Amino acid sequence: MDSATAARTAPQEDRPRPQAKRRPRQKPSAWLAALLLAGVSALLGFRVADSDGVTPVPQLLAFLPWLLAPAIAALLLAALARWRVGLVWGVVALGGVAWFLEPYGKTDEPAGPAVAEIRVMASNVEYGRATEGLLKAVRKEKPDLLFVPECDYTCSDTLRDELPRSDYPYRTASEAGGAEGSVIVSKLPLKKASGLAGTLGMPGAVAELTSGHQIRVQLAHPMPPLPKQLSTWRTELAELRDYAAEGKRAKRSTIIAGDFNATQDHAAFRDILDTGGVRDAARLAGSARTPSWPADLMKPLGTQIDHVLATPDFAARDARFLDIGDTDHRTLVVDLTLHERKR
């Protein structure tokens, strides 16, 4: 029997079986890249949808620029794993983060003639601990309007005693202990206003200029977006939005300043800018992404939650964030120029 015949008559089990092609196993670097990209994409999805979502989305959206790090890491891991889908996904995610790094809001200049120059300072002194540092900053910067969230009884008394009455004769305050106290101190005459109801103090007033112009001024300090306080955070930011919108309807000059506990990457904050007809002074002055919290992180780490917002009849320049010590916030100083409104 020749070899051909033997091959035909050999038992089935003795014949060599063709081996099935194995699918290449996904490398651990590809799985890690997918995990990172899924997280980045989820947060970008809420940003695209103009929504703050639920915990932990609002808390993470505050640090949206930081998404550059996991997006770049995922792109490198996808390249290491030679994962083509991951490479495309990584490029799209990285482009999305870069797109939203663009500062938000309009920057058109007022058309009317200048009426007055006003220097505004907003400083969260963290339960009054940074009062001494604030006093030094006030003496150096000489603001016309000073907004101080978290100014407790001792802080309020110290500002009253240490700031010369001749320089700062006017004030309005929500006198309270801890984070609930807030004070507005002014060189400009202040007429009392109701302010806004909130868990933390948010006093308001009307500043009067020698030119006869009046400016509505409001301290901002809504609750932070804590997991069990999201509804309060949204409600109090909405109160600030409605306050700004009221000024827009009445065509009244308005300044809102303080610790907003929100960034331009929060939909609730963008609603204030859009619906209320106010603009972010730091954005106008070219400092939209300068971090103000937490102050103990090196720049550019951190996020900007301290703002000065003003109606479009204000121009802004020279926005600076100062470290005054003993507080987790940086102090914002910005120079505003009030312009005559078009008739």
User: How do residues 107-164 score in pLDDT, each as one tens digit?
Assistant: 888 989 999 999 999 999 999 999 999 999 999 999 999 999 999 999 999 999 999 9
Check if the beta carbon of residue 199 is closer than 8 Å to that of residue 180. Answer: yes
What is this structure's pTM?
0.90
> Which of these ranges, 24-28, 256-260, 288-292, 316-320, has the smallest mean pLDDT?
24-28
pLDDT over threshold 80, residue 12: no
For residues 268 and 256, what is the distance between their CA atoms, to the nearest angstrom? 15
pLDDT score for 229: 93
Please write the tens of the pLDDT for every residue from 179-233.
999 999 999 999 989 999 999 999 999 999 988 999 999 999 999 999 999 999 9
For residues 196, 199, 201 and 202, what is the CA-based torsion angle, rounded to 10 degrees?
A: -30
Q: How much is the average pLDDT of 325-341?
A: 97
Q: Is 34 exposed, middle or buried (0-12, 13-18, 19+ CB in 10 A)?
A: buried
Give φ, ψ of 98 to 5 degrees.
Answer: -60, -35
CA distance 294 to 297: 6
Asked if the model's pLDDT at residue 16 lies above 80, the reply is no
- How far apart are the C-alpha atoms of 119 and 207, rounded to whole Å? 13
Short-list 172, 154, 163, 141, CA closest to 332: 141
> What pLDDT is attached to residue 342?
72
Structure tokens at 225: 């977006």
Domain map of the chain by residue range?
Answer: 28-100, 114-339
Q: How confident is the model at residue 7 (pLDDT cuts 50, 70, 90)?
A: very low
| pLDDT for res 147 | 98
**Strand 306-310 to strand 253-259: parallel, antiparallel, or no bridges (unpaired)?**
antiparallel
pLDDT in tens, 29-81: 999 999 999 999 999 999 999 999 999 999 999 999 999 999 999 999 999 99
| Tens-digit pLDDT profile for residues 188-198 | 999 989 999 99
Check pLDDT > 50 for residue 288: yes
Q: Which residues contact 315 (CB under 8 A, 6 or more apart)?
A: 109, 110, 114, 284, 336, 337, 339
C-alpha–C-alpha distance, residues 257 and 218, integer Å: 7
The CATH number given to 114-339 is: 3.60.10.10
Helix, strand, or coil (residue 203) = coil
Helices H / strands E in the chain, number of each? 10, 12
Q: Which of 231, 258, 229, 230 shows the shortest CA–CA distance to 243?
A: 258
Sign of the dihedral through C-alpha 170, 283, 267, 305 = negative
Question: What mean pLDDT, rounded, does the chain reach?
Answer: 93
